[in-house]
Amino acid sequence: MGQPEKASKVLVAAPAERLVRTLQEKYADITLRLIEEHDDCFEPMSENAAKKVQRKLYWRIMFLVCCISLMLFIDKATLGASSILGLFEETGISLQQYNNLNMFFYVGYIAALWPGHYLLQRLPFGKTVSAIIFTWAVVVFLHCVATSYAPLVVVRMALGAVEAVIIPAIEMTIGMFFNREEQAFLQPVLWVTTSLAPVVTGCISYGLLFSSSPVRPWKLFMVTTGSLTFALAVWTWFCYPNNPAEASFLTLEEKIHVIKRVQKSSQSSIEQKQFKKEQFIETLKDPVSWLFTLQAFTLMYANNLTYGQQNLLVRSLGISVLGSALVKAASGGFGVCVYITATILIKTFPGNAAYHGLLWCLPAIAGGIGMVTISWDQKLALLACMILAGGTYGVTYIVALGWTSSSAAGYTKKLTRNVMFMVGYCVGNLVSPQIWVPSA
């Protein structure tokens, strides 16, 4: 009688074991499965081979995400550029309504943060990013048909919603392909592109001001940037990888090498499709997560100076529309120099993120003090302080953004902390436009 009972237990246990195994495979990190299947097939890479893979990642991953970041900040600055290209004249909006439009962008942004992150975790990563960029291009085009305040509110909220998860997606991508040491160096490299955005928008604006077309320059600006964004969407559809295990430009050996070095650095999964409640709760209880959120809020409290008010302030100093476009380009050039300098310093003195973040807040504080104390007649001094105030604190934001992800272990924790950081970012930008009161 004992033997049949034993057999019965085996028959009952086997389906349960298969079920557990099936669930584990369903939610397993796909990169981990690749390691388990092929780790024994390859010897450790030579130094030359590893450098070759690194160069490939720089060109295929970093170049792509830098282009995405550039277009993101070009499109984010479309409203500011339009302020000197005929937007006020054609739509009839007031200065207060203009400030509200800057605010509504971040209303859409904050509303889409969590749903967007959920989609990134549940759907194919690369294709989801591509679809978002395509939608964002369509929304930029739709600005052209907005001829009054109400339609502008709708398209600005929509633009904020579709752009909400792009920066976190870029951060997650860098975290998938590069180890922590590389991330600390690559963050400022990535954000050099954000400073190139004012250079590009300033040059495009300057050129469009000479247009003899019956179409207002601000609409031509939207068509130009929308077309560039659409081209970017096509590129990302074919070239943006879901994760290292599915990166078509890497050989199997190179995939194994990339995955192992990233996991060795982070001690966590690279991509995980399961939302882990325990990691979510752990993140909310972690005071460091809230410190990062507070940092994002305080830094972005001043952000409207750069993206919303700079052109208007320059015009109020008596500088022409053409001159305003050139000042915008010059401020972007200064920002590029700042980020390059920051990159060199971070590379030279690694492991000092807090000190680097503090250092680049000091010039911004000095510039802000100068703007409120220098006489309004001192135009060059005011312009210098304005550019100094708006062009340096971004380094601190970059350091914090990269630190947010690199200091978290676990895919769900990284995503949750990113959402918290971006909520702080959004709230700061929501409040920022409202501190600017139109003069009587």
What is the predicted pLDDT for the residue at 21?
40
What is the predicted pLDDT for the residue at 155?
95
Which burial class, exposed, middle or buried, applies to 19 when counting CB atoms under 10 A from its CB (0-12, 13-18, 19+)? exposed
| Mean pLDDT, residues 105-122 | 86
Q: How confident is the prediction for the chain on average, in pLDDT?
A: 82
The pLDDT-based confidence of 222 (bands split at 50, 70, 90) is: very high
What is the predicted pLDDT for the residue at 29?
62
Domains of the chain with CATH codes: 45-247+272-435 (1.20.1250.20)
Encode pLDDT of 369-425 as tens digits: 998 898 888 888 888 888 888 888 888 888 888 788 777 777 778 878 888 888 898
- Residue for token digits 């702080």? 424
More reliable by pLDDT, 70 or 24: 70
Encode pLDDT of 193-208 as tens digits: 877 888 888 889 888 9
Which burial class, exposed, middle or buried, applies to 41 when counting CB atoms under 10 A from its CB (0-12, 13-18, 19+)? exposed
Identify which of 213, 173, 180 has the alpha carbon closest to the alpha carbon of residue 57.
Answer: 173
Whole-model pTM? 0.78
The pLDDT-based confidence of 26 (bands split at 50, 70, 90) is: very low
What is the predicted pLDDT for the residue at 439?
57
What is the CA 198 to chain-centroid distance, rounded? 16
Identify which of 37, 89, 74 has the alpha carbon closest to the alpha carbon of residue 307.
Answer: 74
> Are residues 356 and 299 in contact, defined by beta-carbon separation less than 8 angstroms?
no
Quick one: how many helices (H) and strands (E) in the chain?
Answer: 23, 0
Encode pLDDT of 309-329 as tens digits: 676 777 777 777 778 778 878
Lowest mean pLDDT among 124-128, 266-270, 280-284: 266-270
Distance (Å, whole) CA 260 – CA 242: 17
What is the predicted pLDDT for the residue at 127?
94
Distance (Å, whole) CA 17 – CA 180: 37
pLDDT of 275 strictly over 70: no
What is the predicted pLDDT for the residue at 236?
96
Encode pLDDT of 132-176 as tens digits: 999 999 999 999 999 899 999 999 999 999 988 898 899 889 888
**Cβ partners under 8 Å of residue 287, min gap 6:** none
pLDDT of 268 strictly over 60: no
pLDDT of 254 strictly over 70: yes
What is the predicted pLDDT for the residue at 3?
46
Residue type at 363 in one-letter notation: P
What is the predicted pLDDT for the residue at 189?
80
Task: Indicate left, alpha or beta for 116 from its phi (over 0: left) and psi (-120 to 50: alpha).
Answer: alpha
φ and ψ of 274, to 5 deg: -95, 130
CA distance from start to end of the chain: 97
| Mean pLDDT, residues 79-106 | 87
What is the predicted pLDDT for the residue at 305?
63
pLDDT of 11 strictly over 50: no
Neighbouring C-beta atoms of residue 359, cutoff 10 Å: 16
